Structure formats: structure tokens, C-alpha cells
């Protein structure tokens, strides 16, 4: 990268440049199975056998299985009803061709996905991701996490996820529109406000939701506002939805700190990414008194010791869709940019990975610990590798998993569905109050559940078990589903 203000980065792993690939297999399935409870090992073996090569999906299933062993001991009825086997098999998986033509008339073919994972608690709910690395494993891991995250919110939503191996970066608005229209031409038959309700994720924001919602409306001849969330305010969207994931993550971190008698006040914070989640996490952390000294994108990171200028970051990354080097160029001498390299090199007390899966590995965790980190919370989905999670926890760092810490986005999506169903529109302040309340309830549920299973302070155990039990109890009540 040669943008003004960028310096070559000395050491540290270079992140994948395709925008969302993650670092590849983060677990050894054989070793993992050996460490599992005897009732759960066969469940994991079956997941590996039936989903060969799907490393991210295996990793996310393992993360849940490792924590629910004590629940299965306390509730043998779950094992008898083969609940874990059922819960790790999606209800429905849709894979489809997405043909479209670019501005020069060249034809492209992408692959679209929607994995409808679990509808025990409500319609399938979860985002769509457009990134070149999207494949069945990525969509399934995201769908699986979504099931428990959504349950944890306490809202009536099941779990699903979808997307395509399409890269919107560098594409014109007209190309993105044609892609979205083609994608929805196939997907629409599987959606409905009572059936399956997508939203955004990496590479899918308000622009893409607009094109897809517009195509859904044309095909079905229905103004079915509740069929997608993350809409614009003038066409059925809800206030705070755009900010909700990042804001929710900041509120969750604030709760984690309060529990330890700490606060964000004056603390240095590093955030990875500079997309929807990262930018709004930065904004709220700074409003709550923290100082965000670094953020990144897939091309590199910036170190801005005085605190990131959020208005400038929004302009560069959200409005202009430019590279992070442009932020450095406009910020002048105050910030330094590093092409490639890892944002986790920057000393901080609080780290918020808000970019993509497996982006914070053991080496980065070690560096964070050496630099004095006290709290890590996941704004992204599964950004921390299992080795890194272990290392952080052994070092006494408070660790908030994405299932809890980034649940504010989908929770506010459920609030958008509620407003759509009642043809109502709430104020910003009222909606943010609801978000704060929901994040506080999730935090309390994690802690209470963890404590009741003898693992106080363990947010991973608390989040997985609390989410799992809500889904499992509903599935038992609904018969053999």
C-alpha cells in the first residue's frame, strides 16, 4: 500500500486481503473430540463426518459442545431426545446460482446461500454476507452461532444466515443493484415476515438491503416491511438499527468493566475493522469516555493516539468506501498508518475485534496480554481463535463472546420487526433505551447462568448455556422437530 502516511509494518501476521477469510482451520478435530465429554464426542464426530472440510462450522459447534456438557449431565432428557444432534443439523439449506452482468456486459456467476438453521423460537433471523470467502462452512457457522445469540436476546426469533461469494468492493452501484436483484429473484420464495427475515452482515448494508427489498416487493406485489431488517428510515427501517451492533458491544463492555469495579473512562481501546460494527463501537466507546487509539481494514491499520476521529472515519469508510490509508492522509500528522500488519500490536487495555472470524489468534492474544489488556469483547462473529480465547482466559482477561457482545444488532432487528408489525416508528432515545436494557439483561443472564454452573465470570459458558437452554426447551416442547 503506498497511500500517503503509510509505513511498512515490521513484523506480525498479514491479514487476508479478500476482506473476510479468517485464518483457516483453527482446531484439530481429532484432538478436539478426545477432549469432549463421552456423550458429546459422537455428536461432534457426526458433525465432522456429515460436513467434511467445513472448518469454521466445526469450530463453532465445538465451542458450544464444550460448554454444554454440564447441562446435559443435569438434564439427561436432552441427550435422550438427541437434542444436540438435532440442533447441530440445519432445518433447511438452500444453495443457488446468481447470474448477473457487469457494466461492460460481461457475465458473472456467483453462488448464493441461505441456511435456515432453527425456527423453534420464531422465524429464521440473521444476516446476509457478501464476500469472496463465503462458502457453506462460513454460512453454517454463522447460522449456528445465530441460533443461540438470538435465543439469548429473549426475543421471538429463530436463527439463520446467508450470503454469496460476491465481492461488492470496487463494483458500481448499478452492478451491486443487478447482483442484489438476481440474488433476491431466487431467494424471495424462501422468505416471509413469518418465515425467514434476513438483514445485513459483511458487505451488506442499507444500500444492498434496499435493492433486495425493492426486488422482493416487485416479485411478490406486497409491501411486506417485516421481511427484511436494516431498512432505511423512510421505507420501514428502525432508528438505532444501523448503530445497534457496535453500540450494543460498547454497552456490553461497559457492563463487564463495571462488574470488575472498572470503567471505560480514560481507557485505551483498540478496535479491528472499520465497517458498520467497528465504527459504531468506536463512536459509543468514545461517548462513554474511552479513547479508541486504533482501528483497521483489510489493507492495514491506523494508530491515532489522541483518539479516532469518528466523523472522519465515517466519511472515509462508510460514505466513500475508501481504504483506511485515506483516513491517515486526511488526519495529518496525528495518526500513523501501517500497511498490512495487526492492529493488536497497538497497546490498549480493551480490545474489540469487530472485523471477521479468526482474526485474533494466539500470537495477537499474547501481544495484547503483554501490553496489559484487561477486557476483550467480540463485536464480530467468532473473531478470536480457540487458542487465543484460552490464552486470554488463563491470563485473567475478561472475555465477552460475540454470541452475547454483538447481540445488540439482531435484538434491534427484532425491535424493527415489532415496529413493522404495529406500523409504528419509535424515537431514537426510546429505541436506544430498549437496546441498553437488552444488553444489560444479556449480561446478567450470562453471569447468572455461569454462576449456576459453577463458573462465575465465564461469559462463554454463561452465553452458550443460557442460549442453548432456551432453544432446547422450546424444541422439546414442540415434539420431534
Q: Which residues bind ligand NDP (CB under 6 A)?
A: 15-16, 19-20, 127, 200-203, 245, 272-278, 296-299, 354-356, 359, 379-381, 406, 409
Does residue 463 interact with ligand 2IT by CB under 6 A? Answer: no
Strands, E, within 50-104: which ranges?
92-101
Does residue 126 interact with ligand 2IT by CB under 6 A? Answer: yes
Distance CA 100, CA 180 (A): 9
User: Is 51 in a helix, a strand, or coil?
Assistant: coil
Select from ligand 2IT, ligand NDP, none the partner in contact with residue 328, using the beta carbon and a kind-dependent cut-off of 5 to 8 Å.
Answer: none
In the complex with ligand NDP, which residue's Cβ is closer, 134 or 397? 134
Select from ligand 2IT, ligand NDP, none the partner in contact with residue 229, using the beta carbon and a kind-dependent cut-off of 5 to 8 Å.
Answer: ligand 2IT
In the complex with ligand 2IT, which residue's Cβ is closer, 241 or 323? 241
Stated as kind and residue range, the H or E segment containing 392 is helix 386-394
Does residue 401 interact with ligand 2IT by CB under 6 A? Answer: no
Size of the site for ligand 2IT (CB under 6 A): 11
Select from ligand NDP, ligand 2IT, none the partner in contact with residue 272, using the beta carbon and a kind-dependent cut-off of 5 to 8 Å.
Answer: ligand NDP
In whole angstroms, the minimum distance from the beta carbon of 108 to ligand 2IT comes to 25
Distance CA 32, CA 204 (A): 34
Separation of first and last alpha carbons in the chain: 52
In whole angstroms, the minimum distance from the beta carbon of 179 to ligand NDP comes to 15
Looking up cell 469483547 gives: 377
Select from ligand 2IT, ligand NDP, none the partner in contact with residue 126, using the beta carbon and a kind-dependent cut-off of 5 to 8 Å.
Answer: ligand 2IT
Residue nearest to ligand NDP as judged by C-beta position = 275
β-strands 291-297, 300-303: how paired?
antiparallel
The radius of gyration of the chain from alpha carbons, rounded to an integer in Å, stands at 21
Cβ(307)–Cβ(293) below 8 Å: yes
Cβ(148)–Cβ(464) below 8 Å: yes
Residues 206 to 265 in contact with ligand 2IT, rule: CB under 6 A: 229
Nearest to 378 by CA among 145, 59, 65, 136: 145
In the complex with ligand 2IT, which residue's Cβ is closer, 5 or 400? 400
Residues 152 to 211 in contact with ligand 2IT, rule: CB under 6 A: 199, 201
Among 311-319, 408-416, 434-442, 450-458, which window interacts with ligand 2IT (CB under 6 A)? Answer: 408-416
Q: Is 429 exposed, middle or buried (0-12, 13-18, 19+ CB in 10 A)?
A: exposed
Among 346-354, 384-392, 409-417, 460-468, which window interacts with ligand 2IT (CB under 6 A)? Answer: 409-417
In the complex with ligand NDP, which residue's Cβ is closer, 226 or 230? 230
> What is the DSSP annotation of 103-164?
TTS-EEEEEEEEEEEE-SSSSEEEEEEE-TT--HHHHHHHHHHHHHHHHHHTSS--EEEEEE
Binding-site ranges for ligand 2IT (CB under 6 A)? 125-127, 146, 199, 201, 229, 381, 409-410, 413
Amino acid at each position: 500500500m503506498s497511500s500517503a502516511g503509510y509505513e511498512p509494518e515490521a513484523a506480525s501476521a498479514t491479514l487476508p486481503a479478500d476482506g473476510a477469510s479468517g485464518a483457516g482451520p483453527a482446531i484439530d478435530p481429532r484432538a478436539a473430540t478426545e477432549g469432549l465429554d463421552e456423550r458429546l464426542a459422537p455428536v461432534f464426530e457426526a458433525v465432522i463426518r456429515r460436513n467434511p472440510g467445513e472448518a469454521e462450522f466445526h469450530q463453532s459447534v465445538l465451542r458450544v459442545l464444550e460448554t454444554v456438557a454440564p447441562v446435559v449431565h443435569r438434564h439427561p432428557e436432552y441427550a435422550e431426545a438427541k437434542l444436540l444432534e438435532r440442533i447441530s443439523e440445519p432445518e433447511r439449506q438452500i444453495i443457488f446460482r446468481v447470474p448477473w452482468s457487469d457494466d461492460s456486459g460481461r457475465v458473472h456467476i456467483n453462488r448464493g446461500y441461505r441456511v435456515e438453521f432453527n425456527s423453534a423460537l420464531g422465524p429464521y433471523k440473521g444476516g446476509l454476507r457478501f464476500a469472496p470467502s463465503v462458502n457453506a462452512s462460513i454460512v453454517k457457522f454463522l447460522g449456528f452461532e445465530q441460533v443461540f445469540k438470538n435465543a439469548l436476546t429473549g426475543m421471538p426469533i429463530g436463527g439463520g444466515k446467508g450470503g454469496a461469494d460476491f465481492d461488492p468492493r470496487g463494483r458500481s452501484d448499478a452492478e451491486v443493484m443487478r447482483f442484489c436483484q438476481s440474488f433476491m429473484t431466487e431467494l424471495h420464495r424462501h422468505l416471509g415476515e413469518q418465515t425467514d427475515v434476513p438483514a445485513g452482515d459483511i458487505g451488506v448494508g442499507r444500500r444492498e438491503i434496499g435493492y433486495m427489498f425493492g426486488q422482493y416487493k416487485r416479485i411478490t406485489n406486497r409491501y411486506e416491511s417485516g421481511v427484511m431488517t436494516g431498512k432505511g428510515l423512510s421505507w420501514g427501517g428502525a432508528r438505532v438499527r444501523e448503530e445497534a451492533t457496535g453500540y450494543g458491544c460498547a454497552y456490553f463492555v461497559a457492563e463487564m468493566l463495571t462488574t470488575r469495579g472498572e470503567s471505560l473512562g480514560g481507557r485505551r481501546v483498540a478496535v479491528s475493522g472499520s465497517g458498520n460494527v467497528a465504527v459504531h463501537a468506536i463512536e459509543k466507546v468514545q461517548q462513554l469516555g474511552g479513547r479508541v487509539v486504533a482501528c483497521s481494514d483489510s489493507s492495514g491499520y491506523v494508530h491515532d493516539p489522541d483518539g479516532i476521529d469518528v466523523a472522519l472515519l465515517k466519511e472515509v469508510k462508510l460514505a466513500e468506501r475508501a481504504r483506511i490509508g485515506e483516513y491517515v492522509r486526511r488526519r495529518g500528522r496525528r495518526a500513523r498508518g501501517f500497511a498490512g500488519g495487526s492492529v493488536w500490536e497497538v497497546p490498549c487495555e480493551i480490545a474489540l475485534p469487530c472485523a471477521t472470524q479468526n482474526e485474533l489468534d494466539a500470537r495477537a492474544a499474547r501481544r495484547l496480554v503483554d501490553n496489559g489488556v484487561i477486557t476483550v469483547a467480540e463485536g464480530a462473529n467468532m473473531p478470536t481463535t480457540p487458542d487465543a480465547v484460552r490464552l486470554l482466559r488463563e491470563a485473567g482477561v475478561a472475555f465477552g463472546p460475540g454470541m452475547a457482545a454483538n447481540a445488540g444488532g439482531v435484538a434491534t432487528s427484532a425491535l424493527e420487526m415489532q415496529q413493522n408489525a404495529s406500523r409504528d416508528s419509535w424515537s431514537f432515545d426510546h429505541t436506544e433505551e430498549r437496546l441498553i436494557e437488552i444488553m444489560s439483561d444479556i449480561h446478567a443472564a450470562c453471569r447468572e447462568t455461569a454462576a449456576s454452573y459453577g463458573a462465575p465470570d465465564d461469559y462463554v459458558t454463561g452465553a452458550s448455556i443460557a442460549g442453548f437452554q432456551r432453544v432446547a426447551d422450546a424444541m422439546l416442547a414442540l415434539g420431534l422437530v
